[in-house]
């Protein structure tokens, strides 16, 4: 076996000349900057979670019952912490952790404001926010991971890029068995889409009907991953065709965009009707909700007539073809 730099360079040159060496897509400067901001936000959130866990470990070590408030480091949670009886050194450690959490929160506010400013100027992020379950954070994370949608020729390639495609086991000409998702590719964007899937499962619309159909057969967690995969396919079609989500609720969407504007630092409109005023009208919200509930019912009625085959039977039939 002979391996030298000259031989390797010659092989690579021949592959490139023959068209068998595809070029790697290089993100543009704006996409790289957005990826860095998303990464910074993720790191800050992890730091805050780690500090919260340290405080919880101190409380558990002294057999203090769980905090009755939802947020341990919020206003009510900190008042509750101050009333607990702890040794002086442990009390000092908690105060240090709370001080670090304050610093992390300040940095997180700045980073999220920068992401919001970018989102207001990015039509891709605004388009992704029309999907149920996708706020500005999830939309920015997915947009940063995808970059140029034209590098994915079909939805399945985007699904595989996000690691949401099922793994396949097959030997020879035998039947193929599909298992868990591969979890390859952009892990952070995949996790964000799964979180969005849980939120979409609580929002009325065809996606909730899809989630319920899978959950009734396979369980909630598998249904959430399947919904995330469905979201990835919908995202490919939306970005490829420059179309918003067809079942978006205008009043709720306007409220989403207004929250992004406030996070970006835009002034509040006191004593004036803003862009999200329709969300405060119950009749308007009820009308929009009724429309998406009809779409959900139509999807459920259509899929109720489908017949499911056992996985083994499907594999055997596919192998016999």
Q: What is the C-alpha to C-alpha distance for residues 292 and 198, in angstroms, rounded to an integer?
A: 18
Does 112 have pLDDT greater than 70? yes
Per residue in 226-253, pLDDT tens?
999 999 999 999 999 999 999 999 999 9
Per residue in 149-170, pLDDT tens?
999 999 999 999 999 998 877 7
Are the C-beta atoms of residues 313 and 277 closer than 8 Å to each other? no
Mean pLDDT to the nearest integer, 8-26: 88
Mean pLDDT to the nearest integer, 90-116: 97
Residue 115 belongs to a domain? yes
DSSP state of 21: S
What values do phi and psi take at 180, rounded to 5? -70, 165
Strand ranges (E), 88-176:
166-169
Three-state DSSP at 107 gives helix
Counting the structural domains of the chain, the total is: 1
Residue 63 belongs to a domain? yes
Per residue in 253-301, pLDDT tens?
999 999 999 999 988 877 677 878 888 899 999 999 999 999 999 999 9
Residue 42 belongs to a domain? yes
Residue 201 belongs to a domain? no
The pLDDT value recorded for residue 22 is 79
Which tokens go with 307?
A: 């017949």
Mean pLDDT of the chain: 91
Q: What is the C-alpha to C-alpha distance for residues 208 and 215, in angstroms, rounded to an integer?
A: 10
Mean pLDDT to the nearest integer, 93-108: 97
Residue 200 belongs to a domain? no
Does 321 have pLDDT greater than 60? no
The pLDDT value recorded for residue 1 is 55
Residue 96 belongs to a domain? yes
Are the C-beta atoms of residues 193 and 138 closer than 8 Å to each other? yes
DSSP bridge pairs for 168:
178
Does 142 have pLDDT greater than 90? yes
Q: What is the C-alpha to C-alpha distance for residues 284 and 13, in angstroms, rounded to an integer?
A: 63
Q: Which domain holds residue 51?
A: 27-121
Does 308 have pLDDT greater than 90? no
Residue 46 belongs to a domain? yes
Residue 111 belongs to a domain? yes
């Amino acid at each position: 076996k002979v391996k030298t730099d000259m031989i390797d360079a010659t092989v690579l040159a021949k592959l490139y000349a023959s068209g068998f060496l595809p070029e790697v897509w290089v993100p543009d400067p704006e996409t790289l900057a957005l990826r860095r901001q998303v990464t910074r936000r993720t790191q800050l959130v992890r730091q805050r979670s780690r500090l919260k866990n340290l405080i919880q470990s101190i409380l558990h070590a002294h057999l203090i019952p769980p905090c009755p408030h939802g947020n341990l480091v919020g206003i009510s949670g900190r008042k509750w912490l101050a009333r607990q009886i702890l040794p002086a050194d442990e009390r000092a450690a908690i105060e240090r952790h709370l001080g670090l959490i304050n610093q992390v929160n300040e940095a997180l506010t700045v980073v999220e404001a920068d992401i919001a400013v970018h989102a207001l100027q990015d039509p891709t992020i605004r388009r992704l926010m029309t999907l149920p379950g996708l706020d500005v954070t999830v939309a920015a994370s997915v947009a940063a991971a995808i970059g140029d949608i034209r590098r994915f020729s079909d939805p399945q390639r985007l699904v595989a890029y996000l690691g949401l495609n099922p793994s396949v086991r097959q030997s020879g000409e035998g039947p193929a068995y599909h298992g868990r998702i591969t979890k390859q590719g952009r892990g952070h964007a995949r996790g964000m889409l799964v979180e969005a899937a849980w939120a979409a499962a609580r929002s009325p619309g065809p996606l909730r009907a899809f989630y319920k159909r899978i959950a009734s057969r396979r369980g909630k967690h598998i249904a959430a991953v399947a919904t995330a995969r469905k979201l990835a396919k919908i995202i490919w079609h939306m970005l490829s065709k420059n179309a918003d989500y067809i079942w978006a609720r205008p009043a709720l969407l306007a409220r989403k965009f207004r929250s992004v504007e406030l996070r970006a630092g835009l002034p509040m409109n006191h004593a004036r009707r803003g862009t999200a005023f329709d969300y405060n009208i119950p009749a308007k919200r009820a009308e929009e909700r009724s429309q998406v509930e009809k779409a959900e019912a139509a999807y459920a009625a259509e899929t109720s007539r489908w017949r499911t085959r056992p996985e083994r039977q499907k594999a055997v039939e596919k192998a016999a073809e």
